[in-house]
Structure 1
């Protein structure tokens, strides 16, 4: 992404761009930090049917969630240009929890940041779900299984037809739904000095099963949740429910493979 690639409408909105910085990012979008004369912005661009849909959903979710007390970036605009989609929002100063933990902080700081990670998820699940994110047509899990089947048919996903059949047959017992993030991983939580300062990538936000967030949060990564101690610290701080191994596998090694 170069300055000349950015739609003129966005250039006019942010003003003079001094430089563009490309942070570590996933494979679903191009993410850039726009450093302007007055402030920094995040600009995300997608060019794929599925990822375009996710970016649109993220913009909608941020519009509703920005008015809560959750640490989410303020959205400014969403722009459609041919097959491309652009989302402009506030930049939150911090690094991902994954990056923080990969630097192998001392045990005290590591325990503090994992505890704050758990507290941040507790805050999300205790937040009143904006009415715009409620789905009155069908339960969250039913909607996810329908989307999973569509994604399996139309896109390149890790899930298989056999796994989807098992997911439909072996549904976990229902629990009370809450506001959920929908992709609550250590990549999507920003920290600064062991404190959580932001939660990003809200395309999966919904009134849904909180176990999905918990399962994704404790996925083992380098120096993160690769031992029982990390999980215990997180769950003690979260303090709302404990998921079983079967529930973890259903969500993390099941549903998540289709998204």
Structure 2
């Protein structure tokens, strides 16, 4: 599902004042949770995201908080410039202005990359970046109380009852009954996919869409990145390169499947 392009006239005056004069607006491929525009202004490029509705505006506000919390880290994340909450048709809405990171999605690059060595190098770097995330101390402002998985299952129940999700009641019941053995929580990205990883000039240049970032089970990131049943990394050589970069053996297949199934509710 794609949202329509975001015209300049729709941007709140408070934000327009920060980016004008606007020389051009570009619209990258759009996702289902927000509308994104790349804006060329007098001082270069910035990115503006707009989300509508309770769920998506809350995610956008969370992304702003995560980016601010990670501003002093060495991770390749956008710099949060401003956040504005407002209303649209009686529903909560939000606007996030952030710095522009160059590049195109890793999945797009891999789709046309036939050089086995270059492909392995990129996927190894992708695994190494995820290891860096998991080794980054969790910022104090993002720390939570209670197990991460309990919170995710509670949110999954809410989403199933109130929103359109891919998961089913039967699947959620299985997830609640067959929880994996807990491990120490780390900083996670929460949506570590090829489409959220940017590549420029043959190297990883950025990682975007941090709405699900914060303390969590690192196996969730690993499942979204490399579970062969859902990932583009179906070649054995791709899997080997990713796990070599990450620096460990993959969790068992059942554990990876558990977290992929959990993703169906988000």
* TM-score normalised by structure 1 residue count: 0.95
Q: Where do 5+ consecutive residues of structure 1 fail to align?
A: none
Asked if 1:65 corresponds to 2:73, the answer is: no
Matched pairs, number: 257
2:28 match: secondary structure: coil
1:220 Cα deviation after fit: 5.0
Offset, 1:25: 2.6
Shift of 1:219: 4.5
Counterpart position of 1:86: 95
User: Which of 97, 107, 112 lines up with 2:116 in the alignment?
Assistant: 107
Match of 2:148 among 116, 140, 143: 140
Decide which of 15, 23, 48 is 2:20's aligned counterpart: 15
TM-score by length of 2: 0.93
Cα-to-partner distance string for 1:103-156 (whole Å, 9 max, x where unaligned): 2342121111111100110110010110111112x1000010000001101100
Paired with 1:222 and 1:188, the residues of 2 have a C-alpha distance of 15
Partner of 1:97: 106
Distance 1:229 1:150 in 2: 39
Moved over 6 A (4+): none
- Aligned with 1:204 (options 209, 212, 229): 212
Summarize the alignment of residues 220-239 of structure 1 with structure 2, pairs less than 5 Å apart: 224-239=232-247
Residues 211-222 of structure 1: pairs in structure 2 closer than 5 A: 211-219=219-227
Alignment equivalent of 2:125, drawn from 107, 111, 116: 116
Q: Which digits, 9 at most, give the CA deviation of each residue in 1:175-228, with x for residues without a partner?
A: 121100000011111111231111111111121100000000114599930222
Query: Which ranges of structure 2 fall in alignment gaps of 5 or more residues?
Result: 1-5
Partner of 1:149: 157
Distance in 2 (alpha carbons) for counterparts of 1:122 and 1:57 = 22
